[in-house]
Amino acid sequence: MNLLRRIGRPRAAPTLASLDAYALWAAQYPPTAHNPLMAVEGQAISELLPNVSGAEAVDLAAGTGRFGLLLRERGARRVIALDNSPHMLAGSPLPFRVLSTMEAIPLASESVDILICGMAVGHLPRLGAVFAEIGRVLKAGGTALVSDFHPILHFTGARRTFNARGKTYAVEHYPHLYGDFHAAASAVRLRIDAVREPSLPGHAAGAPVALVLRLIAVK
């Protein structure tokens, strides 16, 4: 797969902090799955998504709004897209956009029915603060879907890279194991309800490329 050749190779690519990386990447970051990893990860999110008709929804670390658009398409009443990159938010077609870190969500406690956080928690060294915030804003019984670059990919040398201005860059990434997710969720009464580890057809004997969790808020 082209993507994995690309992410498996560039150990030499300079690594940028997330804010710097997305400032450069945003102009070529459409609100759709634009590589094979995002395609299989997005399919897993779509399959795990409950009925969101009439729901108050959040696309956390929304980027240009890929999952906010999915939530809107599935009938959510209102979708709030939150990201800490003004460049990524500027590329989003979603009307309710909030510039904020996912570690301090500027929303009321127990106000959200469904939250998706796609491919973003790996930019944080630790999961505790973002999971505490997800647990705080979800209503009792609410659902969160969280995906990440699979730790197996990281530990086998793959990196998250992009091209801009004729150069290849890597984005800062911190691998999180399933046990890390389980500990962060249990600490704030989020129950892991379903797990998917999609792989890419023909790649590395079925080794997973993404970790996708569905969590339920137990209050």
Ligand X SMILES: C[S@@+](CC[C@H](N)C(=O)[O-])C[C@H]1O[C@@H](n2cnc3c(N)ncnc32)[C@H](O)[C@@H]1O
Query: Between residue 3 and residue 42, which ones bind ligand X under the rule CB under 6 A?
Result: 18, 22
Q: Smallest gap, in angstroms, from Cβ of residue 184 to ligand X?
A: 15
State the DSSP string of 182-197.
HHHHHHTTEEEEEEE-
Stretch that binds ligand X, among 117-125, 138-146, 175-183, 192-200 (CB under 6 A): 117-125
Q: Smallest gap, in angstroms, from Cβ of residue 118 to ligand X?
A: 3
Residue 102 in contact with ligand X, rule: CB under 6 A: yes
Sign of the torsion formed by the C-alpha atoms of 115, 46, 70 and 126: positive
Nearest to 194 by CA among 212, 182, 210, 175: 212
**Number of neighbours of residue 197 by Cβ within 10 angstroms:** 16
Q: Pattern of binders to ligand X over 39-68, x per CB under 6 A?
A: ----------------------xxx--xx-
At a CB cut-off of 8 Å and minimum separation 6, what does 8 contact?
156, 157, 158
Of residues 22 and 131, the one with the C-beta less far from ligand X: 22
Of residues 113 and 133, the one with the C-beta less far from ligand X: 133
- Pairing, β 190-196 against β 210-217: antiparallel
Binding site for ligand X (CB under 6 A): 18, 22, 61-63, 66-67, 83-85, 88, 101-103, 118-120, 123-124
